[in-house]
């Protein structure tokens, strides 16, 4: 074999990077609009009475969650896969025209599916299950895109030069398999048109009814969080943090324990979404117990990452990229402690149905998922586009403004959630309910406003990110990868 | 063993899959048959109610309203008897929701009336000062999709044996029958007859005119559905 480094082909990675940025802006912009609508309901009519149907909170809400989860995050996962996969398997996409074709096809179909999702959700074509809103024709598209990703993963593994699979690959494989299983089972439905011959072609009925439907949905819903918002993001941090810092992963054994522990425990925890519902008690208890056990493998990964920085903490001050990743793993620890606390039955009785849950989701996704994706894209950009990052100070500003945004977000939602939960259950001295429902809504106005401000700050950071990346792609100083091998893009 | 797995991707993938699939099998399967049995008094939805349920789903009402009353005094005081598994036997999909930005609607039919809903959906904060719910005025103009509601009835009847046109036991020992039209036209005529009963309690002239001309606005179907939640 020749003695020069492999030339990796980042075409597909580049496309997905751009998709990540665009869909991140769209998804979070919709989120901020929703936040303002809750604080000031007049915003529901921002485009006038005629378009109220399409700017209304309830129509936009699934669009926000799906755009951020399956748009921004999944694009980020794909972008990093088409970058990290080649590098840790020591094989270039250019070596296999077949895999190159599969990658490009996957991207094109993915974009078509995303467009179909946006249009269909705005039109109100939804099956109402959270994070599984898409109707069956779109589900079929999702399956094709996902199978193509599987072909890409196992195809690249099939022609690899490095025989041992690096930790990141474990997590990508797990994400692929688990999402495939969960998505298929949760979306099992019968299209009504083909049975009855009348009505909308889009419509279908779930194969499961009532309590069973809820059980399958939250087995899916919770683990969609696990295998979209957790495992692939852990895959990213296991690659990018050691690479960027120049440090070796702290402990192989800890990564082993965390991986297999996470795989075994996570799937049990879905029951914590159904505490005090009509699913059997033992399932609720299993959900609670396993959620608490889940702290172990989650913290295992996070601590492993933080200890990887041992002796190199000065980098946190000097390199904004390391800042993003260290804060991401800190938020991962924080969020995976908060979740199990909310899963404890007595806490859940208070927290369920309140904004505290919304706060929990957002400290996870804003603090952990999105920060890690920003960091990954910042690390990849100089190597993919062969240009330096346009502005380091803009990165720093983005970091601080977004951190402030996240803190405002989750603190206001904690207070809102606990306040509302306490008011719902308050009884007066005669044993009557102390508050009518509307009292528990109007009291939240200040917190909804603070949340909207926090979200807006975060969105401003996303615009900075988009601008910085755009300038990096088009206008920044050129740099060759050989000049920055084993050094930070910041140092180059 | 782990070192070996890391060099053999196929077996690695199998090991991961077995590890993650295990929990689902143990948790979900044992309950399936039992949880889908209806309680006495639980009826399937009529054509118009089902069309209203589709309007509810189309507008993601479940994003802000739950349909699950937990067994706490504060909840039963506020919303009525706590939910039983069998009450959801005909709910496909389930609509428990995960967030109460607004109140629970599981038994809203016991406490609100047609004209209350009409006023409230037109101008929520006019009815409940301080409400942050947006108005849903387009429902007064858009036509409900009765065809698809009928298609769903036919489907659940054929595929899942949902008992339409059959006596269903009620709590007081009597029986009731929920009709499903023998044809689309029959189903439409029946839905329109139900819609006329609802529209008679409403005051919006456009709605009345639409129903009189044989069309069913979304709001009428939605109110039929909300009134059925008891």
Secondary structure, 3-state, chain A: CCCCCCCCCCHHHHHHHHHHHHHHHHHHHHHHHHHHHHHCHHHHHCCCHHHHHHHCHHHHHHHHHHHHHHHHHHHHHHHHHHHHHHHHHCCCHHHCHHHHHHHHHHHHHHHHHHHHHHHHHHCCCCCCCCCCCCCHHHHHHHHHHHHHHHHHHHHHHHCCCCCCCCHHHHHHHHHHHHHHHHHHHHCCEEEHHHHHCCCCCCCEEECCCHHHHHHHHHHHHHHHHHHHHCHHHHHHHHHHHHHHHCCCCCCHHHHHHHHHHHHHHHHHHHHHHHCCCCCCHHHHHHHHHHHHHCHHHHHHHHHHHHHHCCCCCHHHHHCHHHHHHHHHHHHHHHHHHHHHHHHCHHHHHHHCECHHHHHHHHHHHHHHHHHHHHHHHHHHHHHHHCECCCCHHHHHHHHHHHHHHHHHHHHHHHHHHHHHHHHHHCECCCCCECCCHHHHHHCCHHHHHHHHHHHHHHHHHHHHHHHHHHHHHHCCCECCHHHHCCCCCCCC
The whole-number pLDDT of residue B33 equals: 67
pLDDT greater than 80 at residue A487 = no
> Which of A174, A278, A426 comes nearest B16 by C-beta?
A174
Provide the shortest C-alpha distance from residue A144 to chain B (in Å).
20
Residue A1: pLDDT band with limits 50, 70, 90: very low
Residues of B in contact with A200 (CB under 8 A): 145, 147-148, 151
Q: Say yes or no to pLDDT of A216 above 70.
A: yes
Report d(CA A253, CA A257) in Å as an integer: 6
A129 touches chain B (CB under 8 A): yes
- CB–CB of A109/A141 below 8 Å? yes
Distance from CA of A340 to the nearest CA of B (A): 17
Chain B residue numbers touching A266 (CB-CB < 8 A): 20
DSSP-derived pairing of the beta strands A189-191 and B175-177: unpaired
- A221-275 pLDDT per residue, tens: 998 888 999 999 999 999 999 999 999 999 999 999 999 999 999 988 888 999 9
Tell me the C-alpha distance between A161 and B48, whole Å. 63
- The CA-atom distances, in angstroms, between A51 and each of A54, A60, A468, B222 are 6, 12, 34, 20
Looking at residue A4, what is its pLDDT? 62
Phi, psi angles (nearest 5°) of residue A8: -80, 150
Nearest by CB to B16, which of A173, A203, A213? A173
In order of A96, A167, B151, the CA distances from A155 in angstroms are: 9, 18, 43
A-contacting residues in B 153-182 (Cβ below 8 Å) = 154-156, 158-160
- CA-CA distance, B16 to A260, in Å (whole number)? 8
Burial pattern A440-459, b for ≥16 Cβ within 10 A else e, equals bbeebeebbbbbbbbbbbbb
Asked if B60 contacts A58 with a C-beta cutoff of 8 angstroms, the reply is yes
pLDDT one-digit tens code per residue, B126-155: 999 999 999 999 999 999 999 999 999 999
The predicted complex's ipTM stands at 0.94
Interface residue A46 vs chain B (CB under 8 A): no
Cβ atoms of residues A31 and A63 within 8 Å: no
A182 and A227 Cβ atoms separated by less than 8 Å:
yes
**Torsion angle defined by CA atoms of residues A97, A102, A105 and A106, in that order, rounded to the nearest 10 degrees:** -150
Mean pLDDT of chain A: 93
In a mutational test of the A interface, the residue from B30, B151, B219 whose CB has the highest number of chain A CBs within 10 Å is B151
Q: By percentage, how much of chain A surpasses pLDDT 70?
A: 97
* pLDDT over 80 at A397, yes or no: yes
A 292-331 → B contacts, CB under 8 A: none
Alpha-carbon separation of residue A114 from A107, A122, A143 (angstroms) = 10, 12, 13
In B55-204, the DSSP E strands lie at: 167-169, 175-177
Higher pLDDT, B3 or A448: A448
**Per-residue confidence (pLDDT) for residue B99, from 0 to 100:** 96
The fold of A11-484 is: Cytochrome C Oxidase; Chain A (1.20.210)
B99 pairs with which residues across the strands?
A353
> To which residue do tokens 């077995």 refer?
B18
pLDDT of amino acid B23 = 80
Tell me the chain A residues in contact with residue B186 when contact means C-beta distances shorter than 8 Å: none
A323 CA to chain B: closest CA distance, Å?
31
Q: Is the pLDDT of residue A485 over 80?
A: no
Q: Does B80 touch chain A (CB under 8 A)?
A: no
Contact A359, A417 (CB under 8 A): yes
For B56, which residue in chain A has the nearest alpha carbon? A128
Mean pLDDT confidence for B97-120: 96
DSSP-derived secondary structure letter, B133: P
Q: For residue A215, which of A277, A139, A127 has the smallest C-alpha distance?
A: A277
Residue boundaries of the structural domains of chain A: 11-484
- pLDDT mean over B76-96: 95
Please state the pTM of the whole predicted model: 0.94
CATH number corresponding to B47-228: 1.10.760.10
What is the rounded distance in angstroms from the CA atom of residue A219 to the CA atom of residue A379? Answer: 34
Name the residue among B63, B85, B129 with its Cβ closest to that of A210: B85
Check CB contact of A446 with chain B, cutoff 8 Å. Answer: no
**How many Å lie between the alpha carbon of A212 and the closest alpha carbon of chain B?**
6
pLDDT tens for each residue of A275-303:
999 998 988 999 999 999 999 999 999 99
**Mean pLDDT over all residues of chain B?**
94
**Looking at the complex, does the CB of residue B36 fall below 8 Å from at least one CB of chain A?**
yes
Contact B199, B114 (CB under 8 A): no
CA distance A334 to A327: 10
DSSP code, position B62 = G
Contact list in A for residue B35 (CB cut-off 8 A) is: 210-212, 215, 278-280
| Domain extents in chain B | 2-35, 47-228
Taking only the tens place, the pLDDT of each residue in A249-258 is: 999 999 999 9
Residues of B in contact with A215 (CB under 8 A): 27-28, 31, 35
């Amino acid at each position: 074999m020749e003695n020069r480094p492999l030339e990796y082909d980042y075409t597909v990675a580049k496309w997905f990077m751009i998709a990540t940025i665009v869909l991140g802006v769209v998804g979070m912009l919709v989120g901020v609009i929703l936040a303002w609508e809750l604080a000031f309901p007049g915003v529901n009519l921002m485009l006038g009475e005629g378009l109220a149907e399409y700017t209304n909170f309830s129509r936009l809400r699934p669009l926000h969650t799906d755009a951020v989860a399956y748009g921004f995050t999944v694009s980020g996962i794909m972008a990093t896969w088409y970058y990290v996969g080649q590098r840790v398997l020591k094989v270039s996409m250019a070596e296999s025209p077949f895999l190159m074709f599969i990658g490009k096809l996957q991207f094109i179909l993915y974009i078509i599916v995303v467009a179909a999702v946006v249009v269909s959700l705005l039109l109100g074509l939804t099956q109402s299950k959270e994070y599984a809103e898409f109707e069956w024709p779109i589900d079929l598209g999702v399956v094709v895109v996902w199978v193509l990703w599987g072909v890409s993963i196992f195809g690249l593994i099939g022609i690899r030069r490095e025989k041992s699979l690096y930790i990141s690959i474990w997590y990508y494989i797990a994400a692929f398999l688990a999402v495939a299983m969960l998505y298929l089972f949760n979306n099992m439905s019968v299209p009504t048109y083909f049975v009855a011959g009348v009505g909308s072609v889009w419509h279908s009925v779930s194969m499961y009814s009532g309590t069973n439907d809820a059980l399958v949905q939250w087995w899916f819903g919770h683990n969609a969080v696990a295998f979209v918002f957790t495992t692939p993001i852990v895959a990213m941090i296991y690659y990018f943090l050691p690479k960027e810092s120049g440090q070796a992963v702290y402990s192989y054994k800890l990564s082993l324990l965390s991986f297999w522990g996470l795989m075994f425990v996570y799937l049990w925890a879905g029951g914590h979404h159904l505490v005090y519902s009509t699913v059997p008690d033992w399932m609720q208890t299993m959900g609670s117990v396993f959620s608490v056990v889940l702290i172990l493998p989650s913290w295992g990964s996070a601590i492993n990452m933080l200890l990887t920085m041992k002796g190199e903490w000065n980098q946190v001050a000097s390199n904004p990229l390391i800042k993003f990743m260290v804060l991401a793993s800190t938020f991962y620890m924080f969020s995976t402690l908060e979740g199990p606390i909310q899963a404890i039955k007595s806490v859940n009785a208070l927290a369920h149905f309140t904004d505290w849950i919304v706060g929990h989701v957002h400290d996870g996704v804003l603090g952990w998922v999105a920060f890690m994706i920003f960091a990954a894209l910042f690390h990849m950009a100089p190597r993919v586009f062969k240009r330096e990052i346009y502005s380091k100070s803009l990165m720093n500003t983005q970091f601080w403004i977004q951190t402030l945004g996240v803190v405002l977000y989750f603190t206001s939602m904690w207070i809102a959630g606990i306040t509302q939960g306490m008011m719902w259950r308050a009884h007066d001295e005669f044993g009557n309910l102390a508050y009518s429902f509307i009292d528990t809504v109007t009291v939240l106005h200040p917190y909804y406003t603070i949340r909207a401000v926090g979200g807006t700050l975060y969105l401003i950071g996303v615009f900075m990110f988009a601008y910085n990346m755009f300038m990096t792609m088009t206008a920044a100083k050129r740099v060759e990868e050989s000049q920055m091998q084993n050094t930070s893009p910041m140092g180059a | 063993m782990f070192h070996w797995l890391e060099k053999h991707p196929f077996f690695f993938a199998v090991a991961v899959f077995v590890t993650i699939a295990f929990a689902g099998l143990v948790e979900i399967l044992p309950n399936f048959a039992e949880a889908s049995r209806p309680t006495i008094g639980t009826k399937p939805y009529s054509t118009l109610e089902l069309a209203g349920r589709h309007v509810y789903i189309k507008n993601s009402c479940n994003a802000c309203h739950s349909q699950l009353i937990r067994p706490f005094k504060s909840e039963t005081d506020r919303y009525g008897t706590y939910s039983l598994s069998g009450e959801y036997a005909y709910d496909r999909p389930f609509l428990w929701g995960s967030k109460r930005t607004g109140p629970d609607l599981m038994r809203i039919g016991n406490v609100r009336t047609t004209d209350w809903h009409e006023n409230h959906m037109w101008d929520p904060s006019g009815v409940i000062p301080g409400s942050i719910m947006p108005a849903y005025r387009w429902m007064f103009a858009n036509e409900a999709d009765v065809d698809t509601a009928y298609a769903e009835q036919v489907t659940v009847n054929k595929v899942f044996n949902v008992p339409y046109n059959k006596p269903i036991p009620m709590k007081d020992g009597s029986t009731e029958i929920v009709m499903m039209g023998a044809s689309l036209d029959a189903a439409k005529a029946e839905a329109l007859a139900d819609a006329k009963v609802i529209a008679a309690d409403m005051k919006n002239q456009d709605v009345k005119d639409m129903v009189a001309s044989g069309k069913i606005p979304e709001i009428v179907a939605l109110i039929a559905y909300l009134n059925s939640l008891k």
